[in-house]
């Protein structure tokens, strides 16, 4: 599909606009005392995707990282295999659209558009193509993970979630490397946020094997599939899981930790890879289970 | 489209299976003390929709109210205008599919399937057709609403959310009439839950004008649109809103109350219709804003 240059030459990356917009708007509401409360709410914007001039779909997004979102969407929907096949991604908020142009077209576009799965995810529920087919080929190597690393990450992550703290109604995702947070992205849909992280990884040519993925959202099947296909073997969530999310994590070998908040967490898969080096002193100090 | 019987004769309703399944599964996880924790997780099931033998889409659902979900999906996606046009809805978990048969076909099915919007919603993000066109025609009469009614409802709703309390990872929606809860449905996606409520209303021929809609989920644009198209003029959410959700509520005339939990709530639209008859005694007793 791509016309890749010779080995060792730099990758030919797409031209990208830089059209990120403010994520919140100021609103006055009234509380239970009938008193005005000034506050922020998350903005939600429509963005219609045109792939080589063909209308594909409209996403609803916060709009703060539209180019990374579209890049990750192209990758996670398996629309384009090689980033070098993409010539440009041009976001235009006036027309609420993004024009994606490729160097030499998209293979089997009709076929890719024909099969739709509407998932349980917030955000972009539609999955073109059968991710489950791809997931059958994935088998990951789960890394060792220290409890102290989990705690340090949760502490640092607490400082992020900027839009959520101001406005609520968004989900955050983070790409973590050891105890460092490489990228943190929020969106009105948790699937948009995970796609934007995928876009960032694709653009920077980052591998997933040494990474950890954090999300404030629930670990439903599609979330686990997406993260597995990004090659990331550890998934940490502030929320819960579904049985199907766990099934997929077991199948592909993803360490699955949920309900992670403060000192509390529940390991659903991969306990043997966790080094419990920071067990809280007393059981009574920890948050209750659930 | 339908071949409706003469006035006053009972409606000809579709034949429905009764294929609801248990919503949770028992799982052992390990907590921060490396101790086993027995608990429930939400089940997530794939359900592929065949409309007059044509494959349309696959939904991911908890699976406890599949027939109501599919009915509401047909209505909210504007696939079928009249419930009497539907002959049968047959859910078969063995093949993870649901066969919808109509009496005389679906008008403009190709056109309806061609325009896709992927929304910020959890659950079924895809909207065929342009709901926004429909919403332009809606203008509702907002009813008076007592603060004491809100509090009584929130108290009663606290006893629901069964799957959530056991397993998490679901959203609940309720159809309320005064202080009574007519129907409460949870699903892995909040859009599934709202669709199942719509299915219930359609089946029972319930009007929305005297109802209140409660959701644990966020009030994004699609949620407000769906509830408005169900004719319900009051929306109450435990979570936050988006700017676009508010824009639509203002346009169509939906009272929008969010962050409703305990004694706290924020009225984003329709304050003039709220009777503040139960203002908490002291500001310090209330939860902080946000």
Q: What is the pLDDT of residues A49-96, one digit of tens each?
A: 999 998 887 888 999 999 999 999 999 888 899 999 999 999 999 999
Rounded CA-CA distance B205/A207 in Å is: 54
Nearest CA in chain A to B263: A32
Element spanning A67, H or E? helix A66-76
Using an 8 Å CB-CB cutoff, list chain B residues near A30.
266-267, 271
Q: What dotted CATH number matches A145-285?
A: 3.40.140.10
Rounded CA-CA distance B195/B185 in Å is: 10
Q: How much is the pTM?
A: 0.86
Query: What rounded mean pLDDT belongs to chain B?
Result: 86
Asked whether residue B214 carries a pLDDT value surpassing 80, the answer given is yes
Strand partners, A86: A102
Q: What is the band of B79 on the pLDDT scale with cuts at 50, 70, 90?
A: confident
Rounded CA-CA distance B88/B70 in Å is: 11
Q: Where in chain A is the domain with CATH 3.40.140.10?
A: 145-285
Confidence at residue B128, expressed as pLDDT on a 0 to 100 scale: 37
Give residue-wise pLDDT tens across range B9-44.
788 999 999 999 988 999 999 999 999 999 999 999
Euclidean distance between the first and the last CA atom of chain A, given in angstroms as a whole number:
48
> CB A46 to CB B117 under 8 A?
yes
Q: Which range is least confidently modeled, A4-13, A66-75, A275-284?
A: A4-13
Residue A17 Cα, gap to closest chain B Cα (Å): 22
DSSP secondary structure of A39-86: EEEE--EEEEEEETTEEEEEEEE--SSHHHHHHHHHHHTTS-S-GGGE
Could you tell me if B186 lies within 8 Å of chain A, comparing CB atoms? no
Could you tell me if B20 lies within 8 Å of chain A, comparing CB atoms? no
Asked whether residue B114 carries a pLDDT value surpassing 70, the answer given is no
Listed in sequence order, the DSSP H helices in chain B are 66-76, 109-114, 131-135, 147-157, 162-167, 190-204, 221-229, 243-252
Residues in chain A: 290
Nearest CA in chain B to A28: B268
Which 110-129 residues of chain B touch chain A by CB within 8 A?
Answer: 116-126
Q: What's the mean pLDDT in B4-9?
A: 55
Give residue-wise pLDDT tens across range B136-160.
788 899 999 999 999 999 999 988 8
Which site among A33, A40, A120, A263 would you substitute to test the B interface, given the most B Cβ atoms closer than 10 Å to its Cβ?
Answer: A120
Using an 8 Å CB-CB cutoff, list chain A residues near B280.
32-33
* Phi, psi dihedral angles at B107 (to 5 degrees): -65, 140
Confidence at residue B77, expressed as pLDDT on a 0 to 100 scale: 82
**Smallest Cβ distance to B147: which of A32, A168, A188?**
A32
ipTM: 0.84
């Amino acid at each position: 599909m791509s016309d890749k240059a010779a080995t060792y030459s730099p990758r030919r990356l797409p031209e990208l606009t830089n059209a990120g917009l403010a994520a919140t708007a100021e609103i006055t509401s009234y509380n239970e005392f009938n008193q005005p409360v000034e506050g922020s709410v998350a903005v939600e914007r429509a963005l219609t995707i045109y792939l080589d001039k063909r209308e594909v779909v409209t996403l609803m997004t916060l709009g703060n990282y539209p180019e990374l979102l579209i890049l990750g969407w192209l990758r996670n929907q398996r629309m384009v295999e090689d980033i070098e096949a993409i010539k440009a991604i041009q976001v235009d908020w006036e027309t609420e659209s993004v024009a994606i142009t490729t160097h030499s077209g998209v293979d089997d576009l009709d076929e890719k558009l024909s099969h739709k799965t509407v998932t349980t995810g917030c955000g972009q529920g539609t999955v073109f193509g059968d991710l489950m087919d791809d997931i059958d080929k994935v088998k990951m190597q789960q890394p060792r993970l220290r409890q102290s690393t989990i705690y340090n990450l949760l502490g640092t992550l607490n400082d992020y979630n900027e839009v959520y703290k101001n406005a609520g109604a968004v989900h955050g995702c983070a790409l973590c490397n050891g105890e460092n947070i490489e990228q943190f992205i929020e969106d009105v849909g948790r699937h948009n946020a995970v796609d934007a992280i995928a876009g960032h990884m694709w653009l920077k040519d980052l591998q997933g094997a040494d990474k950890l993925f954090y999300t404030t959202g629930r670990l439903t099947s599609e979330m686990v599939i997406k993260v597995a296909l990004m090659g990331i073997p550890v998934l940490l969530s502030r929320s819960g899981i579904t049985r199907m999310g766990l099934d997929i994590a077991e199948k592909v070998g993803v360490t699955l930790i949920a309900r992670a908040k403060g000192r509390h967490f529940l390991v659903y898969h991969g306990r043997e890879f966790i080094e419990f080096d920071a067990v809280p002193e007393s059981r009574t100090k920890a948050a209750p289970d659930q």
